[in-house]
Amino acid sequence: MDYRSYAEFLPARYVENLAPPTSTWWPWRGNRVHIARAPAPGADVRMMLIHGGGGYSGALWPVATVAAGGVDVLAPDLPLYGDTVVAQPSRVRYQDWVALLTDLVRAERAADPRPLILFGASMGGMLAYEVAARTGQVAAVVATCLLDLSDPAARAAATRYPFLGRPAPAVLRALDPALGRLRVPIRWLADMTQMSTDPALSRLCAADPRGGGASVPLGFVSSWMSFRHIAPEDFTAAPVTLVAPTADTWTPPELSIRFLQRISAPTTLVTLENCGHYPIEEPGLDQLRTATLTVRDQVAAQAD
């Protein structure tokens, strides 16, 4: 499975001009991080795509590059997913994802001064938000989801069985010393059937061994559930645009909107009509493209 398997679910008019990714590698703390790229040396703006749990660069590539609108694109595979090679998978924790992305943003900005937009999908939205706050080097954040797991309702939405979501942090912390390195299929913990309004796409995501078919250590889930992101009232690092799929039955948009409304930085809400968690449907996909192009043009104008 690769990006072409996911591209089959896009409307045909988008597939014709879909650029394939170029694989590159970046050494980080003894790991070999895979980064998919679509270089555009003449573009004024760059965009980093950040996947969530059950995703990776290939799964995100078709939708995100449609949305990116010709900017210079890079998409890292976070440890446990995609083609990134991890020395000790059982030791990977959510804090490692935050640290990797923080270091990568700083490295990319040092190598290339063009403004950088972070586009976060699913739990990648909160990663983009956190990394923007930590680095101060991000021009804008675009997120399909801003799921703050300090909110019990958000935890209930994130887990396969909602009644388990509310006590999950305490339960997982208790299990961590003995079972933290135990790896379990992500589909045991998250309801992958809600990935898309198209059951075939949901099945693809759940079966892909580099994505939703992967296994994660319980310690990673525990660290994610317990992580405390920078308070939205303190966030002033970059403008944030929430592109919220209206038919998302997995992480209902009102949860993300509630978080967005607390952010101190400038915010924009764009609703993607008819789109599920993985936004492939029209007219929402076109609305996603329009929203990201607007952000791109705003960032480019500010850089002039």
Within 139-259, strands assigned E span 140-143, 183-185, 215-217, 240-245
Number of helices (H), then strands (E), belonging to the chain: the values are 13, 10
pLDDT tens for each residue of 14-42:
887 788 899 999 999 999 999 999 999 99
Strands (E), the chain: 22-28, 31-38, 46-50, 72-76, 116-120, 140-143, 183-185, 215-217, 240-245, 267-272
Burial class (CB in 10 A: 0-12, 13-18, 19+), 41: exposed
The span from the CA of 15 to the CA of 6, in Å, is: 10
pLDDT at 163 (0 to 100): 42
Q: Is residue 147 helix, strand or coil?
A: coil
Buried b (16+ CB within 10 A) or exposed e, 191-216: bbebbbbeeebbebbbebebbbbbeb
Tell me how far apart the alpha carbons of residues 293 and 291 are, in angstroms, rounded to a whole number: 5
Q: What phi, psi does 262 have (nearest 5°)?
A: -95, -10
CA 35 – CA 28 distance, rounded (Å): 12
The full set of domains in the chain, from first to last, is: 3-152+231-303 (3.40.50.1820)
Decide: 186 and 214 in contact? Cβ < 8 Å. Answer: yes
Vertex 141 angle, CA 138 and 147, to 5°: 130
Residue ranges in the chain whose pLDDT is less than 70: 160-179
pTM (predicted TM-score):
0.94
**Tens digits of per-residue pLDDT, 232-266?**
999 999 999 999 999 999 899 999 999 999 999 99
d(CA 173, CA 208): 29
What is the pLDDT at residue 182? 85
CB atoms within 10 A of CB 219: 23
